[in-house]
């Protein structure tokens, strides 16, 4: 009997099945960026390949299966130097650069460190879905900043466009985009008896949707296959249905939930990780076990990463702190970096409260900062230091900013009758 629905219906069914099949084999990602976006981005790309250490051995990748996003845990200048030139270690060991393919600054500017076709040594000890040494099969992208600090909107836009371009080149879907904290794994230590996830924390604050990406894997394939032990905190961030905030309120501060391991990962006991106790005393990760004990680190201790050559600056006494490459406003003040009571004294002589700072990584080195202060109160003939500060006028915590750009505590001023006109006074906000 002849099909009453006719040839047109059969043709429609055939075309529909072809369309469905075609859709099913397409990558899961759909571009959130236009051709104009991609072209404009590529024109502004800074080519830094000439800075690559000549001793770095270039090896072409045989395949590209993943894109791995990192946070550099450093400022821009140091990040560019380390990924291009290499790292030096106290034990004399060193590397020869080639630690990523791209670096994205806090303002969104993107640097090409090496040609994307070569293997970059960016993932270290890593595993995903049973495959190890992901550096050999992936592209690495470094976002300047820290895993406990917000990634900027400019960075999200740049990394989103860059990933979009790379996905097109290598035919990758959104699930091929992972963070270093997802793929890195560690060997047994005091927290884990077996090989485990959580060796790195970098980019655990990476919010995929803000980069135009869909969800990540719904589970960790290596934990599910019992190849690795899960890291509870990272599992909550990446795979929980509760949408756990990837940026803990306590940031880089020790608490019951925010342990040294949660903050620093495998670098918890490194000589380059500094623990700043609430009383101001400083210890490196290599000193804690012998001098303090890991179970005796006090709450509210601040953990600072990559500080090997900065310990002397961190030991500055008194309320005035100095920003340098590797010591940022965020690492010193945490989430108070943009408060009105955090005040910055730029080398140019300008003074800005934290509420006027759009990005802590834009602050020039040698910027001075004070945390928990109010002011300025100008000194005048009718407004003396005593009238402004009362009995605390000559206290170390009462600060005087002189026209010469010097910032002095009241205890450093010998003769208050000789203070120059135009001097500004800053008082602890609790006064």
Tens of pLDDT, residues 233-263:
899 899 987 655 555 445 688 888 788 888 8
Cα–Cα distance for residue pair 69/119, rounded to 1 Å: 15
| Cα Rg of the chain (Å, integer) | 26
CA 311/CA 297 separation, integer angstroms = 18
Q: Which contiguous run of DSSP H or E holds residue 344?
A: strand 342-345
Report the mean per-residue pLDDT for the chain.
86
Mean pLDDT, rounded, for 292-308? 85
Q: What pLDDT sits at residue 16?
A: 46
Q: What is the pLDDT of residue 321?
A: 86
Helices then strands, counting H and E runs in the chain, come out as 12, 21
Tens-place pLDDT, residues 181-237: 999 999 998 878 999 999 999 999 999 999 999 999 999 999 999 999 999 889 989
Domains of the chain plus CATH, in order, are 35-239 (3.40.80.10), 258-314 (no CATH)
| Distance of alpha carbon 219 from alpha carbon 85, whole angstroms | 36
Residue 112 near residue 140, CB atoms below 8 Å: no
- pLDDT digits over 345-390, tens only? 999 889 999 888 766 666 787 899 998 999 999 998 889 999 999 9
Q: pLDDT for 96-139, tens place per residue?
A: 999 999 999 999 999 999 999 999 999 999 999 999 999 999 99
Q: What is the CA 13 to chain-centroid distance, rounded?
A: 52
| Tens digit of each residue's pLDDT (9 = 90 or more) over 9-22 | 455 444 444 444 44
And the tokens for 57? 């051995």
The model carries a pTM of: 0.73
pLDDT the model gives residue 250:
56
Residue 325 has pLDDT above 90, yes or no: no
Position 302 scores a pLDDT of: 84
Would you state the structure tokens that stand for residue 162, as one six-digit string?
A: 């860059």
Instruction: Please state whether beta strands 66-71 and 399-401 pair in parallel, antiparallel, or not at all (unpaired).
Output: unpaired
Considering Cα of 288, then 290, then 294, then 300, what sign does the dihedral take? negative
Structure tokens belonging to residue 214: 């869909």
Binned at pLDDT 50, 70 and 90, residue 309 comes out as: low
Q: Is the dihedral of CA 380, 386, 387, 388 positive or negative?
A: positive
Rounded Cα gap, residues 280 and 353, in angstroms: 23
Closest CA to 326 of 352, 361, 353, 287: 361
Angle between helices 153-170 and 35-44 (to 10 degrees): 110
For residues 315 and 5, the model is more confident at 315
Q: Quick one: how far is CA 179 from the chain centroid?
A: 12
Q: Is 72 left (phi over 0), alpha (psi -120 to 50) or beta?
A: alpha
The β-bridge relationship of strands 66-71 and 138-143 is: parallel
């Amino acid at each position: 009997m002849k099909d009453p629905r006719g040839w047109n219906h059969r043709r429609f069914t055939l075309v529909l099945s072809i369309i469905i099949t075609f859709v099913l084999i397409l990558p899961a990602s759909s571009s959130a960026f236009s051709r104009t976006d991609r072209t404009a981005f590529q024109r502004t790309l800074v080519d830094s390949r000439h800075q690559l250490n000549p001793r770095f051995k270039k090896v072409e990748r045989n395949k590209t299966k993943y894109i791995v996003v990192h946070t550099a845990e450093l400022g821009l200048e140091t990040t560019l130097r380390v990924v291009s030139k290499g790292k030096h270690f106290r034990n004399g060991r060193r590397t020869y650069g080639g630690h990523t393919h791209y670096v994205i600054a806090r303002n969104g500017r993107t640097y090409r460190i090496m040609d994307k076709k070569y293997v970059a040594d960016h993932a270290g000890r890593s595993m995903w879905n049973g495959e190890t040494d992901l550096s050999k099969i992936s592209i690495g992208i470094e976002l300047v900043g820290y895993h406990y600090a917000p990634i900027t909107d400019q960075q999200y836009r740049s990394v989103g466009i860059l990933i979009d371009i790379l996905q097109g080149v290598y035919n990758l879907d959104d699930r091929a985009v992972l963070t270093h904290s997802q793929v890195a794994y560690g060997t047994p230590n005091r927290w884990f008896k077996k090989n485990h996830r959580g060796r790195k924390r970098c980019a655990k604050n990476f919010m995929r949707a803000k980069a135009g990406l869909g969800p990540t894997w719904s589970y960790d394939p290596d934990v599910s296959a019992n190849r690795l032990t899960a890291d509870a905190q990272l599992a909550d961030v990446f795979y929980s249905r509760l949408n756990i905030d990837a940026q803990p309120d306590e940031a880089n501060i020790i608490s019951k939930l925010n342990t040294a391991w949660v903050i620093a990962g495998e670098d918890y006991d490194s000589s380059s990780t500094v623990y700043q106790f609430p009383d101001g005393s400083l210890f490196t990760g290599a000193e804690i076990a012998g001098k303090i004990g890991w179970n005796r680190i006090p709450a509210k201790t601040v953990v600072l990463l990559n500080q090997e050559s900065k310990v002397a600056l961190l030991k500055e006494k008194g309320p005035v702190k100095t920003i340098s490459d590797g010591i940022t406003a965020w690492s010193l003040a945490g989430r108070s970096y943009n408060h009105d009571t955090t005040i910055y004294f730029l080398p140019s002589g300008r003074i800005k409260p934290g509420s006027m700072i759009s990005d802590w990584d834009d602050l020039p080195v040698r910027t001075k900062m004070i945390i928990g202060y109010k002011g300025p109160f100008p000194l005048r003939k009718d407004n003396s230091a005593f009238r402004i500060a009362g009995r605390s006028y000559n206290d170390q915590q009462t600060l005087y900013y002189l026209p010469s750009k010097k910032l002095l505590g009241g205890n450093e001023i010998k003769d208050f009758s000789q203070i120059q006109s135009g001097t500004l006074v800053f008082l602890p906000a609790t006064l």
